[in-house]
């Protein structure tokens, strides 16, 4: 099952992620893909705010990992400089995956052999300049349940 949203500007992407955050549990992984400037970091910022992170969530492009305190610990990774999941292991990053919510930007290179299930977030261009198509899917029951809970609530608010 894939859930697809169209956002018309960065605020809508931020709000979409913020709205998903309350449904996330310990050991949730979100693997986020999309081209440069697709909105991966905007999505991460919204998720962080929804998780109650008070600090400013920034792109971890150079540091590879930023850790924030929220309702749950929020681990924000950037895999842009990694070649494969072995690099992810090599940095000891798999250690962080059970303790909170992990969001990984540029995740496509580490999907093969990723240790555990995840919510896949794909951000693609929309029809207009500021429009984005954001697709959510899950690879296991744990993450599927989270998306379904979120969707049930979204539906009841229509
Ligand atoms: N619908 C949208 N959703 C998210 N960002 C958008 C949207 N429309 C325009 N933008 C702009 O695109 C850029 C996305 O930047 P960023 O989140 O850093 O991208 P990424 O992390 O994917 O490289 C920002 O300048 C943002 O204002
Ligand atoms: Mg980014």
Domains and CATH numbers, the chain: 3-153 (3.40.50.300)
- Going through the chain in order, the beta strands assigned E by DSSP cover 3-7, 28-33, 65-68, 74-78, 101-105, 119-125, 132-138
User: Which residues form the pocket of ligand 1, taking CB atoms under 6 Å from any ligand atom?
Assistant: 7, 9-10, 12-13, 34, 36-42, 59, 105, 130-132
**d(C-alpha 39, C-alpha 130), whole Å:** 10
Q: Ligand 2 centre from 123 Cα, in Å? A: 12
Ligand nearest to the CA of 59: 2
pTM to 2 decimal places? 0.96
**d(C-alpha 143, C-alpha 108), whole Å:** 18
Q: What is the pLDDT of residue 156?
A: 65
**d(C-alpha 81, C-alpha 45), whole Å:** 21
- pLDDT of residue 157 exceeding 80: no
Give the pLDDT confidence of 73-101 residue by residue, as tens digits. Answer: 999 999 999 999 999 999 999 999 999 99
Give the pLDDT confidence of 28-79 residue by residue, as tens digits. Answer: 999 999 999 999 999 999 999 999 999 999 988 778 999 999 999 999 999 9
**Residue to mutate, 15, 33, 37, ligand 1, most ligand atoms under 8 Å from C-beta:** 37
Q: Ligand 2 centre from 153 Cα, in Å? A: 28
Q: Under a CB-based contact definition with an 8 Å cutoff, are residues 82 and 109 in contact? A: yes
């Amino acid at each position: 099952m894939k859930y697809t949203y169209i956002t018309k500007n960065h605020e809508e992407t931020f709000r979409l992620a913020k709205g998903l955050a309350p449904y996330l549990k310990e050991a949730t992984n979100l693997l986020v893909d999309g081209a440069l400037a697709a909105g991966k970091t905007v999505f991460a910022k919204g998720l962080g705010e929804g998780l109650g992170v008070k600090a400013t969530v920034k792109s971890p492009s150079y540091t590879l990992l930023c850790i924030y305190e929220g309702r749950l610990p929020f681990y924000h990774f950037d895999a842009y400089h990694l070649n494969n999941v072995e690099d992810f292991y090599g940095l000891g990053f798999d250690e962080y995956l059970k303790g909170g919510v992990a969001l990984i930007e540029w995740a496509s290179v580490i999907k093969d052999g990723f240790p555990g299930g995840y919510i896949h977030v794909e951000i693609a261009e929309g029809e207009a300049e500021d429009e984005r198509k954001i697709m959510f899917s899950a690879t296991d029951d744990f993450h599927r349940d989270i998306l379904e809970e979120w969707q049930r609530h979204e539906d009841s608010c229509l």
